[in-house]
Every structure is written in structure tokens, then in C-alpha cells.
Amino acid sequence: MPTIAVDKAELYRRLEREYTTHEFDELCFDFGIELDEDTTKDVEEARAKGLPTAAPQLKIEIPANRYDLLCLEGLARSLRVFLQKEQPPKYTLSVPDKIQEVHVEASTSPLRPYFASAILRLARPMNQLEYDSFIDLQDKLHQNLCRQRKFVAIGTHDLDTVEGPFRYMCKDPKEIKFAPLNKDEEYTAEELMGVYETDRHLGRYLNIIRDAPAYPVIYDSKDRVLSMPPIINSQHSKIVAGKTKNIFVDTTATDKTKLDIVINMISTMFAEYTSIPFTIEPVKVIMPDGSSHLSPPLAPRSTSASSSYINAATGLTLSREEICTLLTKMSLTATPSASDADALDVQVPPTRPDILHECDIMEDAAIAYGFNNLPQSMPTTNTVAKAFPVNRLGDLIRKECAMAGWIEALPLILCSHDENFKWLNRPDPGNYAVQLANPKSLEYQVVRTSLLPGMLKTVRENKALPLPMKIFECSDVAIQDPKSERQSRNYRRLCAVYMDKKAGFEIAHGLLDRIMQVLGVPFLEKKESEGKYGYYIASAEDPTYLQGRAAHVYYRSKPNVTPSDPTPSTSASEGDGPLSTLASGLKSVLPSGSGSDEKKNSWSRDIVIGSLGILHPTVLSNFELTRPCSALEIDVEPLL
């Protein structure tokens, strides 16, 4: 969650009360936020030592979707409404004598096609504290909702230094020339890319437009540059604390929804300073197709909620009027519906874009009532918590591996397609791995179908540690399954990797034997063994391992017990159709004719649950390993 720092004295002044740290912490909890730190003690200690320090601050954690609480003004206003010291404000658009216009040209369409604007006519210039809060809100919105200015960029200007109508266009960077913020010298847009390339703050945003053939720019009627979004504003239209009285806000975006949220946040949070409080002057935005609209879109959004749903979810028995009173404390305007005896008509203000569903309204009602005040009751049914068998088995295996001297690793469940297949010398059978439709990077393309890539990457990142290295993981893999409800299935596996100066095949084999010993699975020397239940290993050709140094692990289930489905890749038999199922059922009830038939019946229950061996040099090279390694990977669900 984002954390904001607000001036303690100013916040308490606005709340009309001095709180102790404990009292304010309780207030934050009741409102659904959290006091992270009160710096009063640190400030007093620094002042006692004669060190320069800022005024005491309160650092408060805010829910990620409550953009209206990211500044002192919005936080204080919401808390005052919550404490019923004032009514939720009504935000309105003024009717100016001459409305400012912004013409959006078609050239902006490929890069940043959306534009919104607002004008704040302040009753007085902002003081330094208010100005700092104004700039800080823009920075916080840029970092989270705007995604580092990629989706939305905000510009603020002294309206008295520019003249409308304004033009928003894209232009050749060599033809754009202006003095950027806090600089007196003029540069072309192309030169600014070099000027800010090493800038710690602005350098991170250059890649948004650097390679575009034309850069976005906003001009006034006299061809003076206001800003070059999303990089920098102009020095000419700079806002100055204690001087600027009329603020022109521009926002450009690639996302219309986020654009509306941002322009509403910037304008409403500081609308209390306007000549007529909470009144904002609109701007007429004219689009390339000739259509136009007024910005910002301050009209409240109408929705409804069920009083019975709210009461059922919270365990309360409140009337509709009482629920409306609670919602008013959360800055929502609610009235009982005239057409439905159960419904509430709710008006969502422009400051609450987090209200998306009826459950959000219910949550606000519960917060206003007080979570600690909600009635407690015994559930209508009694259940006894119990771990899933596969989880209990996994915990047992982890414990035994750790007691055997192996260290548990927990790598990510996502990996690249090559790591999962090509780097292990395994072909992709197709429709096997669960693939991400829009991977963030090449490193996170598929959900792993094997634990081995994660283990080898863990070894790679820790190969500077002393040898031998013995690591293991007991976790899930996912594989496509068209017959499953969600088109995929999880399988619990155990994987272990041993690295030393020698490969140590016997070490991996020893871990397998220990796990089977603890689980009470007897060892069968070979397939032809007469045992009706147990496990054995047999040599196999597997491209992941060295030729002649690989083996499959076979598991023979108990008679008349069907083992859990192994991972598709480890199934020893392809004959799983209806006829084979019927045949095996008949064999299980008919008397056996000879000892050889009994052996064949035993062999029919053998399944491959995994493999072990010495990893192939190409596999080691793919994962940048130079020491020999042996590995073990088995499915553990059949052992249930």
C-alpha cells in the first residue's frame, strides 16, 4: 500500500483536535487506514541536538485504490466527514464568461490521443505547504495509477502567463523549442532527450516517446509551449507558491478511464482553495472529429445497493435510513429508493472511483459502523479443520528431506518456454504447458511443467557457496488438461539437485530410498520381482540426463488400489480407454490361472512416477553451471 507523509500539526488543526498517537492510530483503524509512524519523537531528539529537521509528520498507509487519500487535503476532508464534522462536499462546474478551449489534433492519435483539463481559480495563492502537497499528489499519481506516466501525464501551469485557445498536437522534435522547467536556456525536444538522459528523475520517462517520429506538445494561442507530455513543463508557465492564483491543469493519456480519474483527483482535492469552494472551472475539449465535451467530468455516478444484502453480509439489522447515514460518513450520498422497498439509491462522487460493485458499498457501511462493533455469532454449521492429504504428504517429505541434510528452495512457478523445454533437451509436445497470454517479460512465459528449471536456476545463483550443494523443492507443477473444469491440473512433485566435484548419482538415489522408506514403500529390485507393492528403478534414455546415467522410477500400487493419476508425461501405459478399463476390472475379479498371470497383473499396475540421473552437459551449460549435478524428480501424489 502507498504511504503518505502529512504535517502532523496541520492535520490535527483541520480535524479540530489534538490526538495522542494511540488515539490517532485507533481513528485510522476505524477508518480503514493504518498509522505507520509518528516522527515527533525523532524530531524532538534531533532538535535537542541542534540538528536541522522538518516539522513532525505522520506516515500513514493508504489503500491502493483510495486515490482521494493521497494528499493532506483529501485525507483531512474524508476524516472530517467520517467524524461527522462536515457533510460530504458537492463538486460543481462553474459557468465562466468565456470558456477556455483546447483543440486536440489528429496527429496525437498514434501516441497519446486522450486529453482532459480543468482550471482552479484560487481565492488566494497557495502557501508553501499547500503547494508542496499539490506537487506531491501529482508525483504519487504518476507513480501508481499513471504507471510511471505511461498511461497518464499531468501538467500544471499559471494560467495568467498563457492565453487560450490551446492546441494539443504531435510535432517533429526538431521543430519543438522551449525553455524547460527550472532552466532559462531554450532547447529543441531532440536536444532535451540528451539533456535529461542522465537525470535521475526525468530520465526514466524518456523511453515513452524517445523513438516516436513526433512528440506531443501543448501550445497556447501565441505559440508558446506549455508542456511536452509526459516529460517536462515549460518554464514560462511555471507555478510559483505564493504568487500563482489561477491554475490550468492538463492531462494527456493513453487510457480514457485513468484519464478521468486523474483529472478528477487533481481538481477536486484542491477545490477547497477556489474562490467558491468546491467549484471548478471547466475546459472545452474539442476532438479531431469535431466533437467536444466539458472537462473534468464531475457528475456523480448513480448506482444502487440492497439493504438486505448489506445487513446479511455484516450481520446487522439496520433500517435503510440508518444505512444511508453510515454511507454518508464515507462520503457517499444515499437515499432509500422510492420504487423498491429494499433498495438504496447511491450517488458516488467523482472522488470515489474505487466504488465498482455493491460489495464496495457494503464494505463502506461496515467501516462506518465499525468492524469491532459488528455482532459476533457462532456459525450455523460446525466443521473440523483438516489438512488435505497431499499437503500432509508434502509436509512429511519436506521434513524428511531437511533432516537428511537437504536445503529447501522456493523458486518462482513461472519460467520461460526455453527453460522449461529446450534448456532441458525436452521437446514441447504442444498443448502441454499453460502459457501466459501477455507475459511481462521473456522470463515469465509459461507455468512450469517441471520443478527442475527452478532448481537449476537456484543452483546457478548460489554456485559461489561451498560444495556440496544439496537443494530440494516439494511443490506443484501445472499441465493442460482439456477434461478438467479449468482446462489444467496441478500435480505435486518432489525435485532434488545435488552438485559437487563428482556427480553423486548415489546421493540422489539415497534420498529417493529414504523418502520411500519413511512412506513405507518397499523396494523391488526389478520389474520381474514378485512383490505386489513397492517401487524400483530401471535404466532409461532421457535427453535431460547423460546417456547410460539415467533411470525411471516405477511405482507398483497395492492390489485393488488405483493410484492417483500421475503426470501425463510419466504415465507408463497409453491404453487407458474404456475397453482396457473394463478388461482390468474383469481381471481383478476373476481367479488367476497361474503365477505368471499374477506377475502380469502386478506389472499392469506399474507406472512411471519420475526420473533420476546425472544431468547432461548441455543442460548444465544452458544454466551456466560448470560442476556436475545429479537430479531426482518424482510425482508424490501416487504415493497417497
* pLDDT mean for each 10 residues of the chain (640 residues): 88 92 92 91 89 90 92 94 93 93 93 94 93 92 90 94 92 93 91 89 89 93 92 93 93 94 94 93 94 93 94 92 94 93 94 93 94 86 87 94 95 93 92 88 91 95 91 95 90 95 93 94 85 89 92 88 61 40 41 48 78 95 94 93
Where, residue-wise, is CATH 3.50.40.10 in the chain? 92-293
Where, residue-wise, is CATH 3.30.56.10 in the chain? 3-83, 301-373
Confidence (pTM): 0.68
**pLDDT of amino acid 602:** 57
**pLDDT of amino acid 381:** 82
Q: Which CATH class is domain 389-567+603-639?
A: alpha beta
Where, residue-wise, is CATH 3.30.930.10 in the chain? 389-567+603-639
Neighbours of 342 (CB within 10 A): 14
CATH code of the domain occupying 92-293: 3.50.40.10
Distance CA 636, CA 437 (A): 30
**pLDDT of amino acid 562:** 61
**pLDDT of amino acid 564:** 62
Cell output for 202? 526525468
Contact assessment for residue 492 and residue 394, using Cβ atoms and an 8 Å cutoff? yes
Distance CA 73, CA 339 (A): 37
Chain centroid to Cα 546, Å, comes to 41
pLDDT digits (tens, 9 = 90+) for 292-310: 999 999 999 999 999 999 9
**pLDDT of amino acid 169:** 95
Contact assessment for residue 301 and residue 354, using Cβ atoms and an 8 Å cutoff? no
Contact assessment for residue 612 and residue 551, using Cβ atoms and an 8 Å cutoff? yes
**pLDDT of amino acid 565:** 63
Contact assessment for residue 214 and residue 189, using Cβ atoms and an 8 Å cutoff? no
**pLDDT of amino acid 577:** 43
Q: In a 3-state reduction of DSSP, which class is residue 31? A: helix
**pLDDT of amino acid 601:** 57
Chain centroid to Cα 133, Å, comes to 27
Contact assessment for residue 441 and residue 608, using Cβ atoms and an 8 Å cutoff? no
Which stretches of 378-518 are DSSP H helices?
389-403, 417-420, 452-461, 505-518
Q: Which fold has domain 3-83?
A: Phenylalanyl-tRNA Synthetase; Chain B, domain 1 (3.30.56)
CATH code of the domain occupying 301-373: 3.30.56.10
Strands 446-447 and 414-415 turn out to be antiparallel
